[in-house]
Amino acid sequence: MSSVIGYYTTKYGEIWNKSLFDLVEEVMIGVLKTTHIEKEQIDAIFFGNMLAGVLENNLHASAKISEILGVHIPVFRVEAACASGGIAFHLAHQYLASHKDETVLVVGAEKMNDYPVETITDALMAASSGEEQEAGLTFPGLYALLANTYMETFHYTEENLAYVAFKNHYHGSLNEKAQYQKQILLETILKSPYVADPLKVLDCSPISDGASAVILSSSSSLIKKNKNTTRVLATEVATDTISLKNRKSLLELAATRIASEKAFSKTKLKRKNIKVAEIHDCFTIAELFAMEDLGFWKKGEAGKRIKELSTMLGSNSDLIVNTSGGLKAAGHPIGATGIKQIGEIYLQITNQAEKRQIKHCQYGLAHNVGGSGGTAVVTILGS
Amino acid sequence: MSSVIGYYTTKYGEIWNKSLFDLVEEVMIGVLKTTHIEKEQIDAIFFGNMLAGVLENNLHASAKISEILGVHIPVFRVEAACASGGIAFHLAHQYLASHKDETVLVVGAEKMNDYPVETITDALMAASSGEEQEAGLTFPGLYALLANTYMETFHYTEENLAYVAFKNHYHGSLNEKAQYQKQILLETILKSPYVADPLKVLDCSPISDGASAVILSSSSSLIKKNKNTTRVLATEVATDTISLKNRKSLLELAATRIASEKAFSKTKLKRKNIKVAEIHDCFTIAELFAMEDLGFWKKGEAGKRIKELSTMLGSNSDLIVNTSGGLKAAGHPIGATGIKQIGEIYLQITNQAEKRQIKHCQYGLAHNVGGSGGTAVVTILGS
């Protein structure tokens, strides 16, 4: 059984004075310092990144990271589009299952703002099918197809989507590492310009630079030595078709549902045991889907339930969602997101979430999605 | 303990009528048929590929593979430049260490010939440092620096390098899956035009399309059912600086040496127990380095020893190297190479190597390198 024993993240946003590997160096050094661990105590490194190859002909991160830290240990770069961070964490946990008494660094990073938005929009389409690329679709376009199907089927309007952004921007205002730290009024969200009908600018997560890192350990002495630790109770992965047109249903992300069922079945926890969740809200509609696919709310119910704002900090409900601000307000540096989600749950469970702290938080869940749902990772942490 | 229970590869070469994922589909279906395993028996897939993102904006392979096979199981794409295949195999083996009674597919693939050679040369430089890219270096250039250092230090000439190509092209002539199946005279190699002095065209591995797959299992019943299986005795990874200028020595690839020491120490085998090895001969000089760094020959000796042709099929020596033809003659579709190396060792140990078969082959070694030595994987298989 491995435990998260430390977390460090850069602020997310537009970071003009650092390269991708400057950010990687910052969080590796940062998390080692925070946890008082020497680099010699690290046995392997898992690294999640999506776009450095496409954007800047920058691959072979294993050797680049080896050079930065001055180590010869195994370094593994994994890529699963926007789930790259979650997959890196998953494989690190698998690795420790057969490496007792070892400790690994898990790092995610992305550098996006050095390129024009059109370049980024095209590059992100690498996570979709060739056919969807050729059809001129974009990720806002793909999620707009899902949003329209959902809204038509269950009779919702754009207002139902907007509540997700409203809540998550409020949470972002409490997180000094968030890209956007300002509350946004519901009417501002509803008046923002369309990107892909029905999704507006303020339904979309931004383009972000940033890196995040956690230390994961199976060493009982190291876990005991650190006062802030939380166990990994489950981390499960499922996949689905790359193309939306080949899905059985456009009213769910099946990969999320399958990964979630596996994770809850492994931990034997009930949904109501989860007090805090970081959910993959790349677009507002994605949080509504996820609340249903993860099993927190019934299918078709999310549009209504979100308006109660029961998942917002300050509510007395059982479950608060995206206290970091989510991808929507905290930002979405692709490869880093999955690590930041786990880091936020770690902060909550170990009582380090400051202004965003939830009371009596024993169990939390992180949910990371690749593309339009082709990959999903569901991780449950608990003390 | 996991075992390789099946292997399938496309012919390597110029494959104009298939896309990257056509090749992936061919080897996945091929290896399942060969081993009489249904896709429902596969618990996870590990996929090694380097360049699809850079060349054709093609990422998120997990979902693409999920769609091809019609499964929802975890699929993991890993990238470590030219060691992507070896790393995929390594992580698959790690995965099975904590998943008893499971079976995984390990696939490697690359599609390179659809692009001009200049594009490929630039794209491959993603595996080097930014500084080396900006200096206008290429991979032939980087390995030429190593070759010149080696030749100067130990007083060798280009003829010493040429023997590697001579031997491996002879082996390729016996392998119907090889890109080049023709013997080449030593004088032809020596008269071929320079790419980067002292490396000539016939010192370099070619640009190749291809895919390869193995099935790896920890299920004792499945292993028992298959008559052709071999155990994974060790698979070890080490890393080194991305930049040549930051290495302590230019007379070795330290990552190979470290990974090899770890692998032999884990298996408790001696070098002389290894009867067959597939070695990362991206350039002729790379095989000479590897023979020394793996511990088969003493430092500085390889230039002389290669001229004895003791590692060529037909010799009575203890160790035959690159019976597949190596990267040099069999071809080097980047992500596939590490899998093909393991597949060739599997064929040898299970007596299926036909015209290339070595007698009494109990143990074999595969050696896969990323970039100019920033990553190395050493895998030892045995019956």
Beta strands in A288-350 (DSSP E): 320-321
Instruction: Kindly report each contact of residues B114-122 with a partner whose C-beta sits within 8 Å and lies 24 or more positions away, as own/partner.
Output: B114/B55, B114/B56, B115/B55, B117/B207, B119/B55, B120/B51, B120/B55, B120/B207, B122/A57
Chain B's closest residue to A19, CA to CA, is: B130
H or E element: which one contains A370?
strand A363-370
**Cβ under 8 Å to A: B residues 115-144:** 122-123, 125-130, 133
> Cβ–Cβ of B239/A75 closer than 8 Å?
yes
C-beta separation of A288 from A150 below 8 A = yes
| Residue A356 phi, psi dihedral angles, 5° rounding | -100, 5
- The one-character DSSP state at B165 is H
- The one-character DSSP state at B16 is T
- Of all residues in chain B, the percent with pLDDT exceeding 90 is 99
> Would you state the structure tokens that stand for residue A70, as one six-digit string?
């001055």
> Cβ–Cβ of B62/A239 closer than 8 Å?
yes
Q: In B, which residues are within 8 Å of A64 by CB distance?
A: 129, 242, 374
ω before B198 within 30° of 0 (cis)?
yes
Does the pLDDT value for residue A63 go beyond 90?
A: yes
Does the pLDDT value for residue A1 go beyond 90?
A: no
Does the pLDDT value for residue A352 go beyond 90?
A: yes
Residue with tokens 């205002």: A173
Q: In A, which residues are within 8 Å of B80 by CB distance?
A: 60, 62, 76-77
Residue with tokens 């590997």: A21
Q: In A, which residues are within 8 Å of B73 by CB distance?
A: 238-239
Q: In A, which residues are within 8 Å of B98 by CB distance?
A: 94, 97-98
> Would you state the structure tokens that stand for residue B225, as one six-digit string?
């059912």
Q: In B, which residues are within 8 Å of A125 by CB distance?
A: 57
- Of all residues in chain A, the percent with pLDDT exceeding 90 is 99
Q: Which of A87, A92, A53 is nearest to A75 (CA)?
A: A92
CA angle A62, B263, A91 (to 5 degrees): 45
Burial class (CB in 10 A: 0-12, 13-18, 19+), A249: exposed
| Residue B355 phi, psi dihedral angles, 5° rounding | -60, -15
Query: Terminal CA-to-CA distance of chain A, rounded, Å?
Result: 12
> Cβ–Cβ of B81/A64 closer than 8 Å?
no
> Would you state the structure tokens that stand for residue A3, as one six-digit string?
């435990």
Kindly give the interhelix angle for A84-97 and B84-97, rounded to the nearest 10 degrees: 50
Q: In A, which residues are within 8 Å of B62 by CB distance?
A: 80, 83, 87, 239, 370, 374-375
Q: Quick one: pLDDT at residue B237?
A: 98
Q: How many CA atoms lie within 13 A of A211 on its CB side?
A: 24
Chain B's closest residue to A235, CA to CA, is: B74
Full-model pTM:
0.98
Q: What is the DSSP string of A345-365?
A: HHHHHTT--GGGPPSS--EEE
Closest CB from B53, B73, B370 relative to A60 = B370
Chain B's closest residue to A54, CA to CA, is: B54
Q: What is the ipTM of this complex?
A: 0.98
Closest CB from A64, A75, A242 relative to B64 = A242
Q: Quick one: pLDDT at residue A107?
A: 98
CA atoms of B310 and B316, how far apart (whole Å): 7
Q: Quick one: pLDDT at residue B286?
A: 98
Q: Quick one: pLDDT at residue B217?
A: 98
Positive or negative, the CA dihedral B260, A87, A128, A18 is negative
| Residue A63 phi, psi dihedral angles, 5° rounding | -75, -35
Closest CB from A54, A60, A98 relative to B94 = A98
> Cβ–Cβ of B62/A370 closer than 8 Å?
yes
| Residue B360 phi, psi dihedral angles, 5° rounding | 50, 50
> Cβ–Cβ of B91/A87 closer than 8 Å?
no
Residues listed for chain A = 383
Please state, rounded to an integer, the average pLDDT across all residues of chain B.
Answer: 98
Using alpha carbons, list the distances in angstroms from residue B358 to B52, B270, B318, B340, B345: 36, 19, 10, 17, 10
> Cβ–Cβ of B243/A129 closer than 8 Å?
no
- Let me know if B332 is a catalytic residue: yes
- Let me know if A360 is a catalytic residue: no
What share of residues in chain B are helix, strand, coil (percent, to 5)?
45, 20, 35
CA atoms of A69 and A41, how far apart (whole Å): 12
Chain B's closest residue to A100, CA to CA, is: B98
* Predicted confidence band of residue B133 (pLDDT cuts 50, 70, 90): very high
**Cβ under 8 Å to A: B residues 65-104:** 65-67, 71-81, 83, 87, 90-91, 94-95, 97-98
Q: Quick one: pLDDT at residue A325?
A: 98
Closest CB from A67, A73, A127 relative to B60 = A127
Q: In B, which residues are within 8 Å of A77 by CB distance?
A: 78-80
**Cβ under 8 Å to A: B residues 194-223:** none
> Would you state the structure tokens that stand for residue A267, as one six-digit string?
């931990």
Distance, CA of B129 to chain centre: 22
- Over residues A298-305, the mean pLDDT reads 98
**Options B82, B204, B282, B361, the catalytic residue:** B82
- Over residues A129-138, the mean pLDDT reads 96
Closest CB from B94, B95, B242 relative to A60 = B242
Q: Quick one: pLDDT at residue A383?
A: 84
C-beta separation of A2 from A218 below 8 A = yes
Q: Quick one: pLDDT at residue B1?
A: 84
Encode pLDDT of B220-275 as tens digits.
Answer: 999 999 999 999 999 999 999 999 999 999 999 999 999 999 999 999 999 999 99
- Exposure class string for A306-344: b at 16+ Cβ within 10 A, else e: beeebbbbeeeeebbbbbbbbbbbbbbbbbbbbbbbbbb
CA atoms of A182 and A175, how far apart (whole Å): 10
C-beta separation of A269 from A233 below 8 A = yes
C-beta separation of A368 from A280 below 8 A = yes
C-beta separation of B289 from B255 below 8 A = no
Q: Quick one: pLDDT at residue B383?
A: 84
CA angle B87, B38, B226 (to 5 degrees): 75
Please state, rounded to an integer, the average pLDDT across all residues of chain A.
Answer: 98
- Over residues B87-96, the mean pLDDT reads 98
Query: How many pairs of residues across A and B have Cβ atoms under 8 Å apart?
Result: 188
C-beta separation of B122 from B128 below 8 A = no
Chain A's closest residue to B262, CA to CA, is: A73
Beta bridge partners of residue A77, listed in sequence order = A47, B79
The answer for A322, left when phi > 0, alpha when psi is -120 to 50, beta otherwise, is: left
Closest CB from B78, B130, B240 relative to A63 = B240
Q: Which of B245, B248, B216 is nearest to B232 (CA)?
A: B216
* Predicted confidence band of residue A345 (pLDDT cuts 50, 70, 90): very high
Chain B's closest residue to A127, CA to CA, is: B60
C-beta separation of A369 from A280 below 8 A = yes
Does the pLDDT value for residue B309 go beyond 90?
A: yes
> Would you state the structure tokens that stand for residue B38, as one six-digit string?
């249904």
